[in-house]
Chains A and B, each alone.
Chain A
Amino acid sequence: MVELTWLIPALPLAGAAVILPAGRRLGARAGWVATALVGAAFAASVAVLAELLSLPAADRATVVTVFRWIAAGRFAADVTLRVDPLSMTMALVVTGVGALIHWYGVGYMAHDPRVGRFFAFFNLFVFFMLVLVLANDYLLLYLGWEGVGLCSYLLIGFWHERPAAASAAKKAFVTTRIGDAALLLGIVLLWIHAGSLRFDAVLGGGTELSTAAATAISLLLLAGAVGKSAQLPLHVWLPDAMEGPTPVSALIHAATMVTAGVYLVVRSHPIFEASAVALPLVLAIGLGSAIYAGLASIGQFDVKRALAYSTMSQIGLMFFAAGMRMYSGAMLLLVCHASYKALLFLSSGNVMHGLGDETDLRRMGGLRREMPVTATWFAVGALALAGIPPLSGFFAKDHIVAFASTSGRTAAWVLASLAAFVSAVYIARPLFLAFAGERRNPGRAHEAPLGMQIPLALLAAGSVLTGAVLGWRPEGLLDGFLRPVTGALEHGEGGPSEAVLLLVSLAVAVGGVALAWWAWGSGRVEPEAFPRRRPELAGWLAHAFYVDDLYAWLVRVPGAGLGRALRLVDDRVVDGAVNGLGRDVARASRVAPVIQSGFVRSYALLFLLGATVLLLFLGSRI
């Protein structure tokens, strides 16, 4: 089965290839085709996993060559897929969650006139994401990286008649481009210093990279990861990306594409470890993004934007874990987050679907009565994210936060706990604002149909069980599975005991939810109260500390200046040349007729002049 690993990406690619030309004729059926293919890819992944598990742990790394891709002089690159625990984990997440979201999308996008195109792009995205995670070398990974960026652009701007959507798609592409350029530079540097781009050659544990080279390469790779995963400072595109359809937000901007950065860091960890500054920087960026985004999420009134910042915050925690060399911890959070974040997004999709595309929390409230099923799903997802045991998020986050303490990073532990607290607050807030209290919005809300609820049920099951099953302890099932790739966890000694850490995690989660209930759930459900009483603080939160505005200013001012300068050049130089040419010709042509005075004697003088010159000329030749 391992030899047929190429089927995993090939199936959604076939879907895209078939649906793109035939989309209009297929109509809504395109969704079923797409879902089926991703489901088949999931089945194939499971089969490959089964075969992988049948091998002893040390041998779980197979490279499957599919075909020769580039042969240019001394440089040759094959399309090679890597089957190892890390890649299969990612593949399963992508295909599993992806299939469920496709299923949901069939119902959600049913009335859209361009539904065929949607699923073609959706399948194409899954293809590229699978290429990214299954690649055995950085070049193929980069192909997938760029491909998911392209699909993200196409899908964010799916409703391209809306200027906001088109602009958001462009912004996403351009911002991640900065990271992508750095990533490409890092890959080139790696090629120069290591001579190969294959994982088995470069990451095999014998990296002969100098510290300087490793630092440069890892920083560049980190820049790419930061862009794709929407961490500080390249995060500004993610909230705007919510302009896309909700299934897009769920799949691309929650479960998969934005986690590609985490995958990249975890995969490249030998290079990062060879540098002294890379991993601390990863840690800092992760922690900073977690707290920053958490605070920003509290200030958002658009439920999808709140969830977007939440995603950024959770991925920050994944980076934080990776920065502490707790790679399996990061992956555990990644897997759990995929299911509960998708669940949260799709539940919001239900709410929007039921309220006629309403996303403003201020106009929701009391929906638990009219949409009880959706309320249940959202609650499950929110509590999982908040870290309430025994839901999955508790295990994932607790392990990471506790690891900060046990590895001796006390200050980081405090900040991480703070981040966890904030995350509990920010996710309980929309839960209460939307579903608790009374309806602030007139009109009828209707529950989503069954076809859209079944995928949510499965995701909810995942949100409940994944954490406990895969990560009961930090060295749980997932860690053991990933160990050949990620290495063992290095615990430290000292610090508070395990029980204390557990209690602190619990207190943080419950406390956060309680605070949110006190602020927004109980009687005082007035979402506008805080912004009215503290407008400046609310403004800072709502605008995410004005980072986006700063960037816009930084781009706009030089851009406008450059534009003005170029316009000046165009007016003066180019137009000047053209008009000047015309003017000069006209002026010359006004000068020329002076000779034609009409006076015979002047003409005669010219004759004489010419004759004299001619004689001179002839005379000189003798």
Chain B
Amino acid sequence: MRTPIAAYLILSGILFALGTVGVLVRRNALVIFMSVELQLNAVNLSLVAFSRMHNDLTGQVLAFFSMVVAAAEVVVGLAIIVSVFRLRQSADVDQARVLRG
């Protein structure tokens, strides 16, 4: 393989940063959730890159588990968003500021 590993890693970093910015900037709960998925994906990418770098399959196994857990998390998270939506008729995250100081 002729691509430097660093390229994958930096790409993963960029994707992760984009996901972070998405979490902070968007107000729709679903889009925020999607940004989190983007972050998870970035991490998976870096895990697999390291696995390739170290000639060890553990990285891929970890990425695998990460995907499984991401799936479970999406399920529960979406259920929560749905029930919150039912209560407030809005998916706007900024609406949920009952706990302000």
Q: Which A residues have a C-beta under 8 Å from some C-beta of B?
A: 593, 595-601, 604-605, 608
A599 B97 Cβ-Cβ under 8 A = yes
What are 29 A-B residue pairs whose CB atoms fall within 8 Å in the complex? A593-B101, A595-B101, A596-B99, A596-B101, A597-B97, A597-B100, A597-B101, A598-B96, A598-B97, A598-B98, A598-B99, A599-B93, A599-B94, A599-B97, A599-B100, A600-B93, A600-B94, A600-B96, A600-B97, A601-B23, A601-B24, A601-B25, A601-B27, A601-B93, A601-B94, A604-B23, A605-B24, A608-B20, A608-B24
Q: Shortest CB–CB separation between residue A424 and chain B, in angstroms?
A: 94
Query: Complex formed: what's the CA distance from A604 to B29 in Å?
Result: 13
Within 8 A of A (CB), among B7-35: 20, 23-25, 27
Q: Shortest CB–CB separation between residue B7 and chain A, in angstroms?
A: 20
Query: Complex formed: what's the CA distance from A593 to B23 in Å?
Result: 23
| A-B contacts, CB under 8 A, total | 33
Q: Shortest CB–CB separation between residue B20 and chain A, in angstroms?
A: 6
Smallest CB-CB separation from B17: which chain A residue? A608
Query: Complex formed: what's the CA distance from A114 to B84 in Å?
Result: 90
- 17 additional contacts, CB 8 Å, given A598-B96, A598-B97? A596-B99, A596-B101, A597-B97, A597-B100, A598-B98, A598-B99, A598-B100, A598-B101, A599-B93, A599-B94, A600-B94, A600-B97, A601-B25, A601-B27, A601-B94, A605-B24, A608-B20
Query: Complex formed: what's the CA distance from A52 to B45 in Å?
Result: 123
Task: Kindly list chain B residues whose C-beta atoms are within 8 Å of the C-beta of A595.
Answer: 101
Query: Complex formed: what's the CA distance from A598 to B93 in Å?
Result: 10
Query: Complex formed: what's the CA distance from A598 to B25 in Å?
Result: 16
Q: Shortest CB–CB separation between residue A618 and chain B, in angstroms?
A: 16
Query: Complex formed: what's the CA distance from A597 to B94 in Å?
Result: 10
Smallest CB-CB separation from A593: which chain B residue? B101
Smallest CB-CB separation from B98: which chain A residue? A598
Task: Kindly list chain B residues whose C-beta atoms are within 8 Å of the C-beta of A597.
Answer: 97, 100-101
Smallest CB-CB separation from B101: which chain A residue? A596
Task: Kindly list chain A residues whose C-beta atoms are within 8 Å of the C-beta of B98.
Answer: 598
Task: Kindly list chain B residues whose C-beta atoms are within 8 Å of the C-beta of A596.
Answer: 99-101
Task: In the A-B complex, list the 5 residue pairs whose CB atoms are closest, starting with the nearest.
Answer: A596-B101, A598-B100, A598-B97, A593-B101, A605-B24
Task: Kindly list chain A residues whose C-beta atoms are within 8 Å of the C-beta of B23.
Answer: 601, 604
Q: Shortest CB–CB separation between residue B40 and chain A, in angstroms?
A: 16
Smallest CB-CB separation from B26: which chain A residue? A601
Q: Shortest CB–CB separation between residue A619 and chain B, in angstroms?
A: 13
- Most chain B CB within 10 A, of A597, A600, A604, is at A600
Q: Shortest CB–CB separation between residue B31 and chain A, in angstroms?
A: 12
Smallest CB-CB separation from A601: which chain B residue? B24
Task: Kindly list chain A residues whose C-beta atoms are within 8 Å of the C-beta of B25.
Answer: 601
Smallest CB-CB separation from B21: which chain A residue? A608
Task: Kindly list chain B residues whose C-beta atoms are within 8 Å of the C-beta of A604.
Answer: 23-24
Query: Complex formed: what's the CA distance from A601 to B100 in Å?
Result: 12
Q: Shortest CB–CB separation between residue A262 and chain B, in angstroms?
A: 83
Task: Kindly list chain B residues whose C-beta atoms are within 8 Å of the C-beta of A605.
Answer: 24
Smallest CB-CB separation from A592: which chain B residue? B101
Query: Complex formed: what's the CA distance from A283 to B79 in Å?
Result: 113
Task: Kindly list chain A residues whose C-beta atoms are within 8 Å of the C-beta of B97.
Answer: 597-600
Query: Complex formed: what's the CA distance from A233 to B35 in Å?
Result: 96
Query: Complex formed: what's the CA distance from A599 to B97 in Å?
Result: 6
Smallest CB-CB separation from A608: which chain B residue? B20
Q: Shortest CB–CB separation between residue B99 and chain A, in angstroms?
A: 5
Query: Complex formed: what's the CA distance from A604 to B99 in Å?
Result: 15
Query: Complex formed: what's the CA distance from A597 to B96 in Å?
Result: 11
